[in-house]
Amino acid sequence: MRILHTSDWHLGLALYHVSMLDEQREMVRQLLKTVEIERVEAVILAGDVFDHAVANAETIRLYNDAMTALCQRAGVPVLICAGNHDGAARLASCASLLREAGLFVSGRLTREIQPVIVGDAAIFLLPYFHIDEVRALYPEAEVKSYAEAMAAVTAEMRGRFVAGKRNILAAHCFAAGAQLSESDRAAAVGGSNQVGCDVFEGFDYVALGHLHRAQNPAPQVRYSGTPLCYSFSEAGQGKSFTLLDTSDLSVREIPVCPVHELRVIKGGYDRILEQAPFDVRPDDYLKIELDDCFAGLERLELLRQYYPNLLLLTGKAEEGKDSGELTVEALSALQPKDLVCRFYAEMTGEEPDEELLGWFEQAAREIEEAEAE
C-alpha cells in the first residue's frame, strides 16, 4: 500500500505580505494528481495545516476543497494531527462525524489514542502537545522534560500496536539530529522541545511534521518537509511529498513544482542591474543581497522594474551573516534574544533597534515570572 506523507502546508501563509494561496492551490492540485497516478491509499498530513489558528474564509475554502477532493472524489482517507500553528480545537471540530467521511483529525492529546486502520497500516495520530497536558494525563510518570513526555506517550501507544500491521506514527515535533532552516527557528523560541529519536522505537515508520526540510533524522523517522519554500533560507531546497510503500517501508520523494521559485541573488548592484534584463526567470520570488552598497527604496524600485516579485532587498550592512543553516543543537544554544534578532533581520533585512529589543526582553521577563509562579 502507498501512503502519501506530507506536512506543514501552512495554508494562508504570506511571504513578505504576498499571499501564497495560489501556490498552495497549485500544490494541492499536484497532490491530487500524485494520489491518482501513484494509486495512493491514504494521506498523512503531519500538522501545521494552517499558518494561523484562525484562518480566513479563502484559506478555509482551499482546505475544504482539498479534503473533499481527497476523501470524497478520490475516496482516499486523510489523517491529520494538529501542529503548533493550527487552532487544534477548530481543526478537530466535528471530528467524529468527519471520520465517517474518511477525514481523521486529532486535535488534542488524549491517553487512549486508538490507531486508525487503513489497509495494512495502523496509524497513530499524535497532535502537538504541551508538556503539562502529559503531566495531567500521566500523573504516575515523572515527566521532567519534553522528551520524557513524548516517551510516556509513545510507550502507551506501543501497548496498542496492532500485530500484523505496519504501526505508523504521525506526529508534530522537533527530533534531535535534524537540520533546521532559518524558518524553523521561530518554533524554538520559548523552550527546548526536542526529543531523541529513541522515543520512536518500535514504530515501523514515523511521519513527522514541524521542520521545513525533508530529511530522516533516524532510519524510519522522516520529515516530509514543507511542500513549498516558505523562507528564502529554503530557496533551492527541492520540495516534495514523501511516498511510503508499506510493503517494504521504502520511501520516494515526489517533487512539487511551484508556480514561482524562491531565489536569492547576491552580488554587486551594478552587475545585478546589468544582467537583470537577460534573466530568464524574472518572475521568481526574489531576495537580492547587495554586497557593495546599502539597500534603499530607490534601488528597490529600479530592480522591481525587472523583477516584479522582488520581495526583499538587503544591503551591505548585512554582510557577514551566516548562511542560515542551523542544527537543532546549535539552535538550542541560541538565546531568545539572538533568535529574535535573527528572525527580525530575516523578515525586514534590518537589525532590530534597542527600543524594540527592550520590549521583547520585558515581555520575555513577564512570561518567565508568570511561569515561575
Query: What minimum distance in Å lies between the beta carbon of 320 and Mn ion?
Result: 30
Query: Residues 296-303: contacts with CB within 8 Å, 24+ apart?
Result: 299/269, 302/273, 303/272, 303/273, 303/276
Report the residue number, 206 or 272, with the smaller CB distance to Mn ion.
Answer: 206
**Interface pick for Mn ion out of 7, 20, 41, 48 (rule CB under 5 A):** 48
Minimal distance, residue 74 CB to Mn ion, in Å: 26
Shortest distance, CB of residue 171 to Mn ion, whole angstroms?
Answer: 11
Q: How far is the CB of 312 from Mn ion (least distance, A)?
A: 23
| Among the listed residues 62, 4, 7, 79, the one whose alpha carbon sits nearest the alpha carbon of residue 35 | 4
Contacts with Mn ion by CB under 5 A: the residue count is: 4
Is residue 210 a contact residue for Mn ion (CB under 5 A)?
A: yes
- How many angstroms separate the Cα of 202 from the Cα of each of 6, 157, 216, 260? 22, 10, 16, 41
Q: Distance (Å, rounded) from C-alpha 278 to C-alpha 280?
A: 6
Q: Which three cell numbers stand for residue 228?
A: 513549498
Which of 182/289 has CB closer to Mn ion?
182
Q: Which three cell numbers stand for residue 200?
A: 520512536
| Nearest CB to Mn ion, comparing residues 230 and 360 | 230
Closest approach, Cβ 62 to Mn ion, in A, equals: 19
> Under 8 Å CB-to-CB from 336, ≥6 apart: which residues?
189, 190, 360, 364
Interaction of residue 183 with Mn ion, rule CB under 5 A: no
Q: Is 224 in the site for Mn ion (CB under 5 A)?
A: no
Q: Looking at 46-54, 60-68, 283-291, 361-369, which segment touches Mn ion (CB under 5 A)?
A: 46-54
What count of other Cβ atoms lies within 10 Å of the Cβ of residue 345?
17
Element (H, E) at 123: strand 121-125
Closest CB to Mn ion among residues 107, 315 = 107
Q: How far is the CB of 211 from Mn ion (least distance, A)?
A: 8
Range 78-137, binding Mn ion (CB under 5 A): 83-84
The tally of CA atoms less than 13 A away on the side-chain side of residue 212 is 23
Which positions lie near Mn ion, rule CB under 5 A?
48, 83-84, 210
